[in-house]
Structure 1
Amino acid sequence: MADVVPFTDNFSDISNTQGYQFEFRCERCGNGYRSAFQRDAVETGRGVLRAVGSFFGGKLQDLSYSADQWRYDRATNSSAKDRALAAAVKEISPSFRQCRGCSDWMCADQCWNTEIGQCLRCSPSVAEEISRAQASAQRDQIWDRARDRDWTRDLDLDTRAHLTCPSCGVKAEGGKFCASCGSSLAPAVHCTECGKPSTAGAIFCGDCGTRL
């Protein structure tokens, strides 16, 4: 009976027609570890056979078709692939730990709590949790203090704000006058007919109806 092969839910088969290779992933951080490529000597010989068979035809051509069918079988399940996977598991397994808390496979370098013997998802690092909690509390306190403070005390909310200076076109950073040319950022608009001032942005005079 063949040996049981672990790592059945967190690896990808990246084998090709020349041999076998597998990529194993940590189920917490997603980091991958790729096994060494294992060249398939039998497939290399069959490649030569297919080349000869396509040249001579006949029986050799039939053998080349059999080689293609063998390659299709190898791409799904075969004892050769099982042996290759077992060798890859033996190569990669020192870099992984299986957590008894969640049964997931974790990389030993980044996601394993050696002191507790579980993954960092089941048994987080105390220092990391304290740091994360402190940062979260600090962020919440910053928002709370910012909400309590009056940020509009020194702002001119009566004057219409302009994104650009109406005189020079330079972007305005606030205030009543342009920092580049000194022009008013809210100049009064006078009607050309009656001379009455109108609100900035108005299209018609409010007194005589003349278009501004």
Structure 2
Amino acid sequence: MNGRSVWPVFGFTDNYQDRSTREGYQFEFFCERCGNGHSSSFKHSVTGFGGKLLRMGGDLVGGEWGRKASELGYDSMWMRDGNRGPAWDKALQNAVEEVRPHFSQCHRCGEWVCGQICWNGERGVCVNCAPKLDQEIAGIQARAQVEQLNDKIRQVDWTQGTTYGQPAVGRCPSCANDTGGGKYCQHCGTPLAAASEANRFCGQCGTKVTPGGMFCTGCGTSTA
């Protein structure tokens, strides 16, 4: 389960998940910036282990004593799950101390961050407050390369061979494939100028224009 600690001793990070089971305690703590997690080592609980032995012994012995031992074992399990008191608190405190070396608190913004990614050791603060210069330089260089590539690519004429002075035909009327945007279909070679002419419509009234016609037959608007 997710937890947010209320004890001052656990203040180094309140962003954790309880990974404990019936057999013992384990917690995973997360960086407040990138979310990377570090888990504490698994610690067996006395109640969990003892309760398991009691249940096992009761099952093996049988009889009245065995029944009582099993009941005690299940009672310890109930106490382990339902009464998260001093034992659980102590386990969480020990886990915090174990995982603490993986985190540092930024005294500028107050966040606890992981030392592997989000801590700038040279500056003594997190990378949000003082980014690592080598990473920033790499990012700026990459963005500059993209901008320069955009400028160089725009200087090249990419319209050669493309017919853009007349209505374009997206799908060939002969083979039904994409035409490629040229004067002839890239798949079957059908001339597309005639197809464009055959599918012209008046921009004024929407009437289909007669192939070769100079004026719309519906409203008289010039179609030249």
- Normalising by structure 2, report the TM-score: 0.68
Residue of structure 2 equivalent to 1:70: 79
- Structure 1 residues 200 and 55: alpha-carbon distance in aligned structure 2, compared to 1, 3 A threshold: farther
Deviations 1:22-51 (A, max 9, x none): 111111111111122112232122244457
The superposition leaves residues 87-144 of structure 1 with CA deviations (integer Å, 9 ceiling, x where unpaired) of 2223222221111111211111111111111111111112222333344455456667
Which contiguous aligned blocks of 4+ residues in structure 1 show a shift greater than 3 angstroms? 5-8, 47-66, 133-155, 201-209
Contact kept? 1:186, 1:200, Cα under 8 Å: no
Distance in 2, matches of 1:205 and 1:147, equals 37
Match 1:41 to one of 42, 46, 52: 46
Q: One-letter code of the match for 1:167?
A: S
**Residue 66 of structure 1: CA displacement?**
3.9
1:119 aligned residue: 126
After superposition, the Cα gap between the structure-2 partners of 1:90 and 1:156, relative to the gap in structure 1 and judged at 3 Å, is same
Which residue of 1 is the match for residue 199 of structure 2?
A: 200
Residue aligning to 1:128: 135
Residues 179-208 of structure 1, C-alpha deviations (whole Å, 9 max, x = no match): 23211234348xxxxxxxx63266967499
CA 204–111 in structure 1, closer or farther in 2 if over 3 Å, else same: closer
The one-letter code of the counterpart of 1:93 is R
Cα separation, 2, equivalents of 1:121 and 1:8: 17
TM-score w.r.t. length of structure 1: 0.71
RMSD: 3.8
- Give a deviation string over 1:161-193, Cα, whole Å, max 9, x none: 23332222332221110123211234348xxxx
Q: Partners of 1:188 and 1:107 in 2: how far apart?
A: 65
Give the AA of the match of 1:94.
Answer: P
Q: What's 1:16 paired with?
A: 21
Going from structure 1 to structure 2, the CA distance change for 1:169 and 1:43 (only over 3 Å counts) comes to: same
Matched residue type, 1:200: N
Which residue number in structure 1 is paired with residue 179 of structure 2?
Answer: 172
Give the distance between the partners of 1:179 and 1:55, measured in 2 at CA: 89
Q: Which residue identity is paired with 2:88?
A: K
* Secondary structure at the counterpart of residue 158 of structure 1: coil
SS across alignment from 2:29: strand
Displacement after TM superposition at 1:20 (Å): 0.7
- Summarize the Cα distance change of 1:8–1:55 in structure 2 as closer, same or farther, 3 Å threshold: farther
- 1:195 is matched with none
Q: Distance in 1 between matches of 2:98 and 2:189?
A: 73
User: Size of the alignment, in residue pairs?
Assistant: 197
Q: CA deviation at 1:8?
A: 4.2
Structure 1 gap segments, 5+ residues each: 190-197
Structure 2 partner of 1:30: 35
Paired residue for 2:10?
A: 5
